[in-house]
Structure 1
Amino acid sequence: MRKVLYTAAALMLCAAPVHAQQAVASHSDAAPATQLAQPQAVRTPSLYPSTDEVRSQVAAAESKRVAPMGSKDWWYLVAAVAVGVIIAVVLLG
């Protein structure tokens, strides 16, 4: 039984980083395509930008920086924690 648990733990620990890298790679591949589709308007810098300009800049920065956590990613996290708990119980029990 322990061999099966060790194998499952090893597979989960190996699969989680690979899935995370694929998610980042697919997100970074999609970002340049959307940037090329939207031509950037030339803006003159001002000392006091309007509220709409600030909101649009903040929204653009957040969309570049933050990737939404999907339900699939959430289940990988739950599975990794569950496997870690199982391994701790087996090793300490």
Structure 2
Amino acid sequence: MPTEPTDGRDAAAWSPLDSDGWYAARNATTALRDVLVRAGLEKDFPYLRADLNAFGHGLVELGRVSPATAERVAELLRLALASGFGRDRNDDGDEPTVAEEHQGRA
């Protein structure tokens, strides 16, 4: 990327593996996949993958899902919120991300 050192290479030699955004997206995708497997929803998200946008920012592609799957995810989120998930906070006052929750269980 333009702000990253090239180490003598031109921009055509850039790889997503040189990007922190790629690893962040991959780790978040893995954490989400693990939760979907535990919820029995892994086959309902066939397009789940890590990606980068044109600026090198990591993204998680969820893809399209059926209305039944969307309802199931909504119900799981409602249950998580009702059980107090939203009340947990980090030291900086922000709510933990799924990846942080996943790492904390290791």
- Tell me which protein shows more strand as a share of its residues: 2
